Amino acid sequence: MTQATETRRPVIRDAVPGRRDVREVVRDEQVMRRRILEVLAGGPMTVPEIAAAVERPTHEVMFWVMGLRKYGWVAEIKEVDDDGYYRYQVVEREGS
Amino acid sequence: MKGTTKYDALVVGSGIGGMESALKLGDMGYKVLVVEKDASVGGKMILLSKVFPTLDCASCISTPKMAATIHHPNIDVLTYAEVDGIRANGDGTYRARITQRPKFIDEAACTGCRQCEMACNVAVPDEFNADLVSRRAAYIAFPQAVPKKAVIDRAGISPCTGACPAGIKAHGYVARVRSGEYEQAFDLVLEATPLVGSLGRACYAPCESECTRGELEGPLPIRRLKRFIADAHYGRGRDGDPEAVAIEQNGKKVAVVGSGPAGLTAALQLARKGYGVTILEAAEQAGGMLRLGIPAYRLPNEVIDHDISNVTALGVEIRTGVRVDDPAGLKDDGFDAVLVATGTHKAVRLRVPGEELDGVRSALTFLADVKLGKDVGLSGKKVLVVGGGNVAIDAARSARRLGAASVDQVSLECCEEMPAHDFEVEEARAEGITLHDGWGIDHFEGDGRLQAAEIKVCTCVFDPDGRFHPEYDETQRDIIACDVVIVAAGMRADTETFGLETNGDHTLVADPGTLQTAVPHIFAAGDVVTGPTMITTAVGQGRRAAFMIDRYLQGQVLDPGLFDEPLPVVDKDTVLARQQVYDRREPLESNAVMRAAPTDFEETEGPMTEDEAFLGAARCLDCGVCSECHACVDVCPADAIKLDDRPVAIEAEVGTVVLATGFNLFPADAKPQYGYGRFKNVITGMQMDRLLAPTRPYNAVLRPSDGKVPDNIAYIMCTGSRDETVDNPLCSKICCMYSVKQNQLIMGALPLADVTVYYIDVRSVGKGYDEFYQQARDMGCNFVKGRVSGITETEEGNLTLRYEDIENGGALAEAEHDLVVLAVGVQPSRGVAELFAGNGDALALDDHYYVGEVDEDLDPGRTNLPGVFVAGAAAGAKDIPDSILHAGAAVAQAAAHLERARVADEAKAKVPS
Ligand SMILES: Cc1cc2nc3c(=O)[nH]c(=O)nc-3n(C[C@H](O)[C@H](O)[C@H](O)COP(=O)(O)OP(=O)(O)OC[C@H]3O[C@@H](n4cnc5c(N)ncnc54)[C@H](O)[C@@H]3O)c2cc1C
Ligand code: SF4
Ligand code: SF4
């Protein structure tokens, strides 16, 4: 099989919630960071609450919040709420 | 490590099988080379939570082995390296070709502090966390990585950056804008050139023509993003000039003749290096064609002033009104080197009758007069512009703004072939300019003063060799009445007095790589060398000239290869193939305002709003992965970032080869009925192991769909194993036991959670394994004998499993869970046989594509090739204890092979000749 026939042409399509490529969702972390930090400035929130505030699907917000957590922008509050969700808050970033 | 090196053994792969093989051989006194393709040793084991059946922490027991491997006196390890091929020498020894991929980090300097990854602007899925979270382009593979050094993921130069003749890191500033780092974006452009604002407005943006997003809905607004960052910077209350920067002087002086893009850029670069730079400019004001050619509705004077202040802030002196006729003579004024960057300011004549009439003038002087605010007296006049290029369009649109009664434009080329850009032609038309395309001038008429032009149809502009040689149909003619003719028939360099060698078109002869002229201390750059081009090309020439002048004045060799030695540009198809689907994101519409009869020189294009800039930048595909934004360079305290790193080819002579390339996991989306990839709460066993590991991607075991702590988890065993429908009849051996391990860990971490395992039969063969399984049952894990036929998703993201309930008579049953773990099996790792391609004998694989052992029972680890052995899961599914045992067997074989060879050599040496 040659390289050319192996390369599948990508499909562009209008946003179908829940069907975006993981790579694309992850890439958007840099874009969504500001929005998420803005909404968290009002106090800690769960992933579904953040998703409602930024109007994006919860599973995408999960990637972004966990990325922001990994890179020191947000951290969880230790206790889980009654519905089984952690809340996340903005933290002072190392070096900032 | 360069050239050919000699080792007793080559171990390919550094999972537990590879490390164990290397350590044992090293302990025996053999010299071992380990080659690992990832950035850390450790393979899959280091990524696990705990190991069955002891529940020892996987990283606690892996890291000592990883450290021992790296630090062993007899072992050299190449991480982030690839074996390209292994060739048999015919005597049982082998020669391996290896590529050390560039890490773009100075490993000796890197302290593993993570500052680079904290600052990096590019997010990609983290393969070390099974794609559950992001990592950065600059990354340390995982917290216990050995070596704990960063690498930078670079697929190549991004197409936009690669297309920029100025060498501006286009992708880099796009990424900076996306992160809201506007000042840093400005500084990144400033690294290359002072002309941030001018390029943001007037660049013809070759970057956009190459943008990969152009293959989808349309390119990014890369140029306008540059304008945005310039507007943000210049408008940010730093009223007027930037603060003067004191730079330590090196005592040498350079004269730059000409203050256009090439001269200004070179001056900035040289001043940064401590040269005393003086710009000598013939015109009344600095800026070259930016100031004298490009009309203010495209490039306002204030923007040029701001850009120039970036140069003068470094102490560069600009003397205007100084015409240099003898560049070589500047040596007498104390200049150690001279850069001639005088552009092309002489108009090319039409050579038609009547050109000397009063009222016929050149576009160059016309545009300069307009830009310098002189009265050109066009009000109420009928204006005819001659030419089909950008300059002609600029002249016509300027004339329109100066109150001309009418503006006609004659172009030899027909509309589609005009050298002006299509958008410029459209904008000119929108502003009421009448275009006569495909016509040439026969002559001008008038009685001392111009009255009309006679035009004729042009049938062909170029001869078959592509030379300018217009032909006309002399029978088809017309007359255009006009009071003023503005001729834009081309321009050329004005170099007659310079005493330097020139080409036929008056451009200066300079070495294209070094830009040095035949007079060693004189360099030349920009349009005076290339002929008329565009700002960004001249900027690139200015940078190159400054680089070379610096080397010349330091007495270093002028090697063109050292300037901007770039990686190859990443292939667009490769970029696009990274995703199967793309969200449609429409490109930003132009906001240029076209008025039918403009009367002033207000900018036609408006600024971008912050939202527009943000959304524009958000469309970037991060083609090269690393964007070259230099955020890591800015923050690395050890100065360890080395973006100019290159691959290194290594050859190794080895006495034996141990293949320890491990296994791949079954791709769970190959069982579409389980919905992996579609249903967010269906994950794989490896993903669950990551969620349970201390270095997990989330703060706890959570559902990927919404971050909820799951309370009803299902396992589906044998996903992709013992399954003819996916062409794998084999049992994967590890999935039963890793699931049982995870069941126990989940019940520890989430005491309230229910765990149900759907299985065909549980295979718990091994010392203590069955007890381990029983223990999970005793802890409350529910084992249901049944094959799951399909999964559907509920609105809340829960999953309904349909299964055959075998213990209850095989009836079809359904159950709802809030997280499903697919206990995926293993597959052979790919590409191992290809390592030996080109040898007489191929490496034999078994029926299932694992590396074949000639006799698995009696001779484990030995392949069909003499001196080549296989260790661990590369030979078939194995857990950690089995991998270690198998590596031991392979190593014993490898050592025996080496010893046989040594004994034979010694015997040969003893035979008297
Ligand atoms: C989810 C899950 C949980 C598990 N849990 C357990 C457990 O609890 N206990 C247990 O005993 N086992 C467990 N296992 C099995 C265990 O991971 C394997 O037994 C073990 O990793 C096999 O080691 P290996 O060295 O043969 O292969 P790997 O760990 O796969 O290592 C192979 C290495 O070779 C590198 N490589 C591949 N090709 C090349 C090449 N051409 N050039 C250079 N480098 C190359 C790879 O990058 C990798 O680093 C689990 C597996 C999974 C998937
Ligand atoms: S240059 Fe920028 S994108 Fe590249 S690794 Fe450094 S910080 Fe990341
Ligand atoms: S998609 Fe981004 S990185 Fe790729 S060419 Fe366009 S601007 Fe450059």
Q: Which whole number is the average pLDDT over A20-35?
A: 94
How far apart are alpha carbons B705 and A51 in whole angstroms?
A: 11
The best mutation among B151, B632, B639, B641 to test binding of ligand 2, ranked by most ligand atoms within 8 Å of the C-beta, falls on: B632
Give distance in angstroms: CA of B644 to centre of ligand 3: 20
Percent residues over pLDDT 90 in chain B: 91
Instruction: Decide: A74 and B698 in contact? Cβ < 8 Å.
Output: no
Q: Do B118 and A12 touch (CB under 8 A)?
A: no
How far apart are alpha carbons B126 and B139 in whole angstroms?
A: 10
B77 Cβ inside 6 Å of ligand 2: no
Nearest residue to B433 via CA among B415, B457, B458, B413: B415
Percent residues over pLDDT 70 in chain B: 99
Q: Do A10 and B582 touch (CB under 8 A)?
A: yes
Take residue B277 and report the two structure tokens written for it: 């730079």
Mutate to test the interface with B, among A9, A11, A27 (most CBs of B within 10 A): A27
b/e per residue B357-374 (b: at least 16 CB within 10 A): bebbbbbbebbbbbbeee
| B537 three-class SS | helix
Residue with tokens 């200004």: B264
Instruction: Decide: B657 and B663 in contact? Cβ < 8 Å.
Output: no
Q: Do B123 and A26 touch (CB under 8 A)?
A: yes
Q: What integer pLDDT is reported at residue A18 of this predicted model?
A: 65
Q: What integer pLDDT is reported at residue B913 of this predicted model?
A: 58
Pocket of ligand 1 (CB under 6 A): B 12-18, 35-38, 43-45, 48, 51-52, 82-83, 660-663, 665, 685-686, 689, 734, 738, 741, 829, 831, 872-874, 878-881, 883
Q: Which whole number is the average pLDDT over B43-72?
A: 96
Give distance in angstroms: CA of B634 to centre of ligand 2: 10
Q: What integer pLDDT is reported at residue B596 of this predicted model?
A: 84
Q: What integer pLDDT is reported at residue A12 of this predicted model?
A: 76
Q: Which whole number is the average pLDDT over B823-852?
A: 94
Neighboring chain B residues of A28 at a CB cutoff of 8 Å: 618
Neighboring chain A residues of B178 at a CB cutoff of 8 Å: 30-31
Q: Do A30 and B123 touch (CB under 8 A)?
A: yes
Mean pLDDT for chain B? 95
pLDDT higher than 80, residue B108:
yes
Q: What integer pLDDT is reported at residue B253 of this predicted model?
A: 98
Sign of CA dihedral B54, B59, B64, B66: positive
Give distance in angstroms: CA of B208 to centre of ligand 2: 21
Which tens digit of pLDDT belongs to each residue from B117-168? 999 999 999 999 999 999 999 999 999 999 999 999 999 999 999 999 999 9
pLDDT higher than 80, residue B4:
no
The best mutation among B103, B191, B570, B629 to test binding of ligand 2, ranked by most ligand atoms within 8 Å of the C-beta, falls on: B629
Q: What integer pLDDT is reported at residue B241 of this predicted model?
A: 63
How far apart are alpha carbons B806 and B787 in whole angstroms?
A: 8
Q: Does A35 touch chain B (CB under 8 A)?
A: no
Q: Which whole number is the average pLDDT over B311-329?
A: 97
Which tens digit of pLDDT belongs to each residue from B61-106? 999 999 999 999 999 999 999 999 999 998 889 999 999 999 999 9
Give distance in angstroms: CA of B826 to centre of ligand 1: 10
CA distance B705 to chain A (A): 4
Residue B707 or B830, more confident: B707
Which tens digit of pLDDT belongs to each residue from B505-538? 999 999 999 999 999 999 999 999 999 999 999 9
SS3 content of chain A, % helix, strand, coil (to 5): 45, 15, 40
Q: Do A12 and B216 touch (CB under 8 A)?
A: yes
Which tens digit of pLDDT belongs to each residue from B746-767? 999 999 999 999 999 999 988 9
Q: What integer pLDDT is reported at residue A6 of this predicted model?
A: 45
Q: Give the confidence band of A1 by pLDDT, cuts at 50, 70, 90.
A: very low
CA distance B633 to chain A (A): 15
Q: What integer pLDDT is reported at residue B343 of this predicted model?
A: 97
Q: Which whole number is the average pLDDT over B438-460?
A: 95
Q: Which whole number is the average pLDDT over B581-608?
A: 89
Residue A4 or B277, more confident: B277
Strand order in the sheet with B819-824: B682-684, B819-824, B712-719, B754-759, B782-785
Q: What integer pLDDT is reported at residue A2 of this predicted model?
A: 32
Q: Which of A51, A63, A85 sits opposite B708 (nearest CB)?
A: A85
How far apart are alpha carbons B59 and B48 in whole angstroms?
A: 7
Instruction: Decide: B696 and B143 in contact? Cβ < 8 Å.
Output: no
Q: Give the confidence band of A8 by pLDDT, cuts at 50, 70, 90.
A: low
pLDDT higher than 50, residue B637:
yes
